[in-house]
Amino acid sequence: MGHDDRCDERMLALETRLRALEDESEIRRLIGSYGPRVDSGDADGASQLWDREGIYDVDDLLMHGQAAIAAMVMSAQHQSFISRGCAHVIGPPHILLEGDDAVAVCHSLLLLHEKDRFVVQRATANHWRLHRGEAGWRVTTRTSRILDGRGESPDLFRRGLRPDEFTNG
Amino acid sequence: MGHDDRCDERMLALETRLRALEDESEIRRLIGSYGPRVDSGDADGASQLWDREGIYDVDDLLMHGQAAIAAMVMSAQHQSFISRGCAHVIGPPHILLEGDDAVAVCHSLLLLHEKDRFVVQRATANHWRLHRGEAGWRVTTRTSRILDGRGESPDLFRRGLRPDEFTNG
Amino acid sequence: MGHDDRCDERMLALETRLRALEDESEIRRLIGSYGPRVDSGDADGASQLWDREGIYDVDDLLMHGQAAIAAMVMSAQHQSFISRGCAHVIGPPHILLEGDDAVAVCHSLLLLHEKDRFVVQRATANHWRLHRGEAGWRVTTRTSRILDGRGESPDLFRRGLRPDEFTNG
């Protein structure tokens, strides 16, 4: 193999590795923008983190599609959180990439203002499925369960950390 | 175009993309060191995250320049937080780069020790402007507002996530 | 120097810089998986983040080796946290690399479920030493101290942010 071919090969390897880091960075930015978006009532911005047909499945509330997610942000309850003072803090996501698909897990906390301090209303396990389409990475399904002892919540973490997550659906 | 020129072009593209990821990493490291620095009373280290003329604007307290920020860390109130036990937890920042400038937003929590547990004293919206000078990335302005329902706090998130943040100042 | 040599040199520089970012990403993934692993009772997965002879030194409990760490996850106390509902939230780590060694610091929070909310049981300073061996990055020593005013806790942050951390052990 001549120098030019070796050069092309090394460059291709670099491009592939760089792409993986860029994917991670893009996914971190996407997930990391959720909290600031919902805390500032940005219903469109928050819902557009999902695919058009994306699902946000959180305990008693199953939202299907961007309009349902936007409606949650516009709801009286969410708006009352904002008026009272709230923080949706999303912990650093653990991300596994597989081509144009990714799975991430992270904690999230919902803090609400209360007199001279804040209370942690919810601590939640989150499992994200993401897909890269024409418009870049989008959430296809986010499943969130409160960490109150129910078995579903640790299950989300277990599933999201397994290397066979992609094949076992 | 011959192989050498194509090679140079691809390499330049790689260098540019890599630089963007390194910038992000450097900014994450800078922002991520703030909490550990103030929790350990490192007044110099904390204040030097800012430009010499940098601004830290937090609710009722406007600090202008490194000396003012160092003075806050040395203040009786901050020192009493350390003696009592405190954690300044800075959430993962959402970073937008534009050449030698960057804007980041994140949550931060101030936790204080209280008998056998901790209380969340503050949950705060943060908006960071950063600039890369000769010494690397530094904070030019950090604006922080408590998420207690006041409109300024969600505004910080809104401004920091907008793509026109750089041009609209 | 001809084009081929200049090309090789630039490529080598790119590979080195990319490797540093990948190391950071791998370490972030390792540290970031600790919380989801212990919250889901994954004793093997959690303990294997450490070297075979790795140390986890947390206030009153000194664990030496993977079996001791796994035993902590299996302990009655930890299992009772899971049944009650718990979240081990690990803040974004500040990472310093030096070849095959790394030092990271971060906050961690232990939240426990309590009726209709969560309490922050612990806010902790963490200092991680990591080493890259044949199996990739592993924790050699994690030292954790509660941020309740004791001097050891801020000391962990101080040591982990110092540039001479690697030589002064």
Q: Is A86 on the interface with B (CB under 8 A)?
A: yes
Q: Do B155 and A83 touch (CB under 8 A)?
A: no
Q: Could you give phi then psi for residue B88, rounded to 5 degrees?
A: -95, 95
Which residue's structure tokens are 């890269």?
A132
Q: What percent of chain C has pLDDT over 70?
A: 96
Handedness of CA A128, A90, B103, B89 (dihedral sign): negative
Distance in Å, alpha carbon of B23 to nearest chain A alpha carbon: 12
For the cut 90, the answer to whether the pLDDT of residue B76 exceeds it is yes
Where does the pLDDT of residue A44 fall: very low under 50, low under 70, confident under 90, or very high at 90 and above? Answer: very high
Name the residue type at position A108.
S
Question: Does the pLDDT at position B61 exceed 70?
Answer: yes
Q: Over pLDDT 70: what percentage of chain B?
A: 96
Q: Which of C22, C40, C90 to mutate to test the interface with A (most CBs of A within 10 A)?
A: C40
pLDDT band at C66 (very low <50, low <70, confident <90, very high): very high
CB burial of A67-96 (b: ≥16 within 10 Å; e: otherwise) equals: ebbbebbeeeebeebbeebbbbbbbbbbbb
Interface test with A, best of C79, C112, C117 (most A CBs within 10 A): C117
Listed in sequence order, the residues at least 6 apart from A79 whose beta carbon sits closer than 8 Å to its beta carbon are A41
- The encoded tokens of residue C47 equal 């303990």
Contact of A130 with chain B, judged by CB distance below 8 Å, is answered with no
- Residue A166's pLDDT is 67
Q: For chain A, what is the total number of helices (H) and then of strands (E)?
A: 5, 7
Contact B111 C123 (CB under 8 A): yes
Give the distance from residue B68's alpha carbon to the nearest chain C alpha carbon, in angstroms: 21
Exposure class string for B73-108: b at 16+ Cβ within 10 A, else e: beeeebeebbeebbbbbbbbbbbbbeeeebbbbbbb
Give the pairing of strands C136-146 and C101-114. unpaired
C111 by Cβ neighbours in 10 Å (0-12 / 13-18 / 19+) ranks as buried
Mean pLDDT of A58-71: 97
Each residue of A110-167: pLDDT tens digit? 999 999 999 999 999 999 999 999 999 999 999 999 999 999 999 999 999 986 766 5
Cα separations (Å) of B137 from B28, B65, C118?
Answer: 10, 16, 37
Banded model confidence at residue A169, pLDDT cuts 50, 70, 90: very low
Within an 8 Å CB–CB cutoff, is residue C41 touching chain A? yes
Interchain proximity B32–C147, CB inside 8 Å: no
Residue C157 has its nearest CB partner, among B21, B39, B91, at: B39
**Least CB-CB distance to A37: which of B121, B123, B161?**
B161
SS3 (DSSP) at B155: helix
| Higher local confidence (pLDDT), A145 or A168 | A145
Average pLDDT of the residues in B95-112: 97
Question: Which tokens go with C136?
Answer: 């990739």
Report yes or no: A55 and A140 within 8 Å, Cβ to Cβ: yes
β-strands A136-146, A117-133 pairing: antiparallel
Beta bridge mates, C130: C102, C139
Summarize the confidence of residues B45-50 as an average pLDDT.
Answer: 98
Closest Cβ–Cβ partner in C17, C91, C150 for B89? C91
Mean pLDDT value across residues C49-56 = 97
Q: For position A162, what pLDDT does the model report? A: 87
DSSP summary character for residue C145: E
Please give the Cα distance from A121 to A78 (Å, whole number): 13
Count of alpha carbons within 13 Å of B72, Cβ hemisphere only?
19
Model confidence over A67-87: pLDDT tens digits? 999 999 999 999 999 999 999
Closest CA to B94 of A145, A32, C143: A32
Q: How far apart are CA A77 and CA B3, in angstroms?
A: 61
Mean pLDDT of chain C: 95
Residue B52, phi then psi, degrees to nearest 5: -50, -40
Single-letter residue type at A118: F
pLDDT at position C169: 45
Give C122-161 pLDDT, tens digit per residue. 999 999 999 999 999 999 999 999 999 999 999 999 999 9
Strand partners, C127: C105, C143
CA separation, residue B126 to residues C17, C27, C113 (Å): 30, 26, 28
**In terms of CA atoms, which chain C residue is nearest residue B24?**
C21
Pairing of strands B50-58, B136-146: parallel
C19: nearest CA partner in chain A: A17
Nearest to B30 by CA among B77, B80, B93: B93
DSSP one-letter code for B91: P
Q: pLDDT over 90 for what percent of chain A?
A: 89
Contact A149 C40 (CB under 8 A): no
Lookup result for tokens 């999303």:
A90
